Chain A
Amino acid sequence: MDVLVGTLILGISVGSVYALAATGLVLTYKTSGVLNLGYGSLALLTTFIHWQLTAWGLPVGIAAALVILVIAPLIGVFLDSQLFRRIEGQPQVISVIATVGLFVLIQGIVRLAWGGRTELVPSLFPSASWTLPGGVSVGVDQIGVLVVAAGAAGSLGAMLRYSRTGVSFRAVVNNRPVAGLMAINTTFVSGLAWALSTSFAALTGILLTQGIFGGLLDPIFLPTFVIAFVLGAAVFGYLQSLPLAYLGGLALGIAQSLLIQYQPQIVDVIGLETWVARIRDGLPFITITVALLIAPRALRIRGLGSSFVVRTREALAPAPARVRTTVAAVVFGVLAIVPLLGSVSWSLTLATGMIFSVVFLSLVILTGYSGQISLGHTAFMGIAAFSAGHLATDLGWSSWLAMPVGALAAVPAGALIGFIAVRLHGLYLALLTLAFAFMAQQLFFEERGISGGEGGVPLPRPDGAGSETGFYYLVLAILIASSLLAVSLRTGRTGRVLAAMRDSEAACRSVGIAVTRYKVIIFGLSAFIAGLGGVLQSMILESANKLNFQPFFGLIYVTLAVLGGIFHVGGAIASGILFGIFPQAIDAFPFLGDIQFILFGLGSTLALAQNPEGLFGELRRAGNAALSLILRIRQRRSQPAPVTGGGR
């Protein structure tokens, strides 16, 4: 009994921190429409600043107050005015990706400033414990965490309910455009929301480091941990309700501490020791999945859905077929002769890049063509790679056969997500795919029998493509085949149907298009191509390793695919190759090593704010400008040109 009470108190204490953090996340989502996946890294950054202040000799209480009340709000206001306000009105995929960029950026800053070491943060609360009536003993720090977290959330609630600012706030949360018309200063409100949210993130980081990690501040673990539990809690209220998000946080905290405390007993009863542990770790993602699958219909279909589909117009008309064929032929031609010119290491580097291109192509057909978002493609890649590995290693299949069959193994998983995508739209679908990637990793890829543990599952390169050069040509062939597939998907009837689905599913149904079937097929196909990418990626080191399929990479892939140009095959090819050769390129400039994350983060956030069509759109714009200039000069030479209203 005492143990139970103690566990519950611990659960409520930790849960109220999750709750607080979830409130902060939902607050900015509702005021500015940005779901901040960088929330965890904001918590990390601010907690590191807190640690630095204490390391400089500031008393811990003053340091915390300074960070929470001054520094964090300033960071929040800065982010709002410099970044998030610029991407207001962009499709949500852009804003989600900007926050992934923010995540990477802050991670890079922390690495640069503090070297990526784990530090010990001094305790805010005295390390004593109280004995409650009934003999239950609780740590002062637990109570302290509980009081501070509940106090912060309580003051937010009171502010929203009773103050004049609170009324404007609620108006903006309910309907931002209308609130703007009502002469409410929405800029002020969104700035305030970001200030509060970042302040809550700081509080979350400091309290969690205290309450769960015993003062240890781990720059890798903390942000992922935070965002996992915060998303889990926020999805409890479907990103719509602050009180429900708060309750969700509490529930997650309690469930987590019960599972930790009673794990041995649970294992005694039902066995499956490893599974109980994994479910404990995967708790937030299981919550997200279940909550989304049982979401009320109105939320699933309308809710956040429509606005998340990529709404950007493809501003440029496609170039003439002849031009496109020529460009493609030149690009692939150059790629084909590279191994004859350069060193072996370069051809492997380029092959790595082309494999990324294949993965990005799978995202182009999914997101660019049909408007579905997946943040969880690493799951498909992993399923395919491990399947191929086991086929080759355990069953002795030739890698020529294991490769396509392994990729096929990812298709059912993709089709399943596609089936769910019929009922779940937009941001909710994106979150579900993210949760799917995490669950695939935590529940399956951590299983030794599946992933082969640290060493991975051996996956040899196919006979005849074993050498660096041979493998290079295999990759090139697959890249060309996937590009052709993507192009014919786009130009034919299927492409028209996908584009139509992107615009209006209801209209598709009304003319007899079975939307479900197409979603299942496009997700299945995308999973297959991603799976091929996963298999090829594993063949580089001749082993399928779980480290290659971390969910975080899935976020980076989407970011890069969008940066390259999510609507275009050419964008995927260009950004894949650039991403592949990037590490080797910066080896030439050692000082870049430290700031590469910062560059990537800054680049992605700022570039997207400027041009959602990505790098490829930019290139083509330049190409078009050059072309029209040439045409105009020619025209002027032959005859005085008639003025024909600007054109495109």
Chain B
Amino acid sequence: MSRLRAEEVTVQFGGLRAVGDATIEVSDGGFVGLIGPNGAGKTTLFNVMSGFLDPTGGRVVLDDKDITGMPASARAKLGIGRTFQKLELFGRMSVFENLMVAAEAGESKLDLASDLLSLPKRRREERRCAAIAAEMLAMLDLGWARDRRASDVPLGTARILELGRALCARPSVLLLDEPSSGLDAEETADFGKMLQRINRDLGIGIMIVEHDMDLVMEVCRRISVLDFGVMIAEGTPAEIVADPQVRAAYLGEVDDEAAPATP
């Protein structure tokens, strides 16, 4: 059964059609890859699904409920987590605080009065969230960086931290936008293993935009291919590799990943 689904989504930027009639879904606990050349519209589609961009046409459905037009923060509350192609950390806060903010956002509603008065209820909540954040630190092996400023940790750690922050908000579906960009081969492999563990052990559905073909083929169970905003193929990794259209459109340009993708 599909958890999160984009149905015939179209995004038009002025005269430019960034995404046209694209349909993609993540099933409950699924692991889906979204690939395509730079500028194919992958991040745009992600932004539509996570609520950062309203589509010109089509709809986004979560558990059979139409969530098109719903603000990003409300979608996050419903369980859609995401990371960003260009890192978006809370740079001046510590690694722990980054996780804490997300844990608290997932945990409770805004209640200024109990916040300001530091009521017992609030303090209990704070302890619970600190425990969640601490657990995440342990799970991702970030304990050593606990009190570092987020802007000061190495890129590989920062990518993991961003993933951990998304997890702290208790998502049921994760949208990961090029999580391995900037990582070396070894870090990428480790990252892939971690993603598989999250997918398997926590039962979180994952959709990933990725340029590293080895990683995508390794971790994804289904792959969709986007080219010039249009879905040209969908299937298992083996099917995708064999698809002549995909080979023509995309695999010929695999070595092109050094160029920055357009957001």
Contacts and interface: CB of A to CB of B under 8 A. Distances in A.
Interface of A: 313-314, 485, 488-489, 492-494, 496-497, 499-500, 502-504, 506-518, 521
A507 B89 contact: yes
Interface string B124-157: 0010000000000000000000000000000000
A494 B74 CA distance: 18
Interface string B170-212: 0000000000000000000000000000000000000000000
Contacts, number: 105
A515 B72 CA distance: 10
B20 to A, nearest CB: 21
Interface string B32-54: 00000000000000000011100
Given A494-B112, A504-B90, A521-B112, A510 B101 contact: no
A442 to B, nearest CB: 34
A512 B105 contact: yes
19 contacts: A314-B92, A488-B116, A488-B118, A492-B126, A497-B104, A500-B98, A507-B88, A508-B73, A508-B105, A509-B51, A509-B71, A510-B81, A510-B82, A510-B88, A510-B169, A511-B101, A511-B106, A513-B73, A517-B110
Which secondary structure dominates where chain B touches chain A? helix
A525 to B, nearest CB: 8
Describe A's contact surface by its main secondary structure.
Answer: helix
A514 B110 contact: yes
Given A493-B104, A506-B84, A512-B169, 17 more contacts: A488-B115, A492-B118, A493-B115, A494-B112, A496-B93, A496-B100, A496-B101, A503-B89, A503-B91, A506-B88, A507-B84, A510-B84, A511-B106, A513-B73, A514-B110, A517-B110, A521-B112
A92 B102 CA distance: 29
Given A496-B100, A521-B112, A511 B118 contact: no
A514 B73 contact: yes
Given A504-B89, A512-B76, A512-B169, A497 B101 contact: yes
The 10 lowest CB-CB distance pairs between A and B, nearest first, are A512-B76, A509-B72, A511-B102, A507-B88, A511-B169, A503-B90, A504-B88, A512-B105, A514-B73, A500-B90
Given A506-B88, A510-B82, A512-B73, A492 B115 contact: yes
Contacts of B88: 504, 506-507, 510
A489 B100 contact: no
A485 B88 CA distance: 30
Given A494-B112, A517-B110, A512 B92 contact: no
Given A488-B116, A514-B110, A500 B74 contact: no
B25 interface: no
Contacts of A494: 112, 115-116
Nearest to B116: A488
A163 B259 CA distance: 35
Contacts of A493: 104, 115, 122, 126
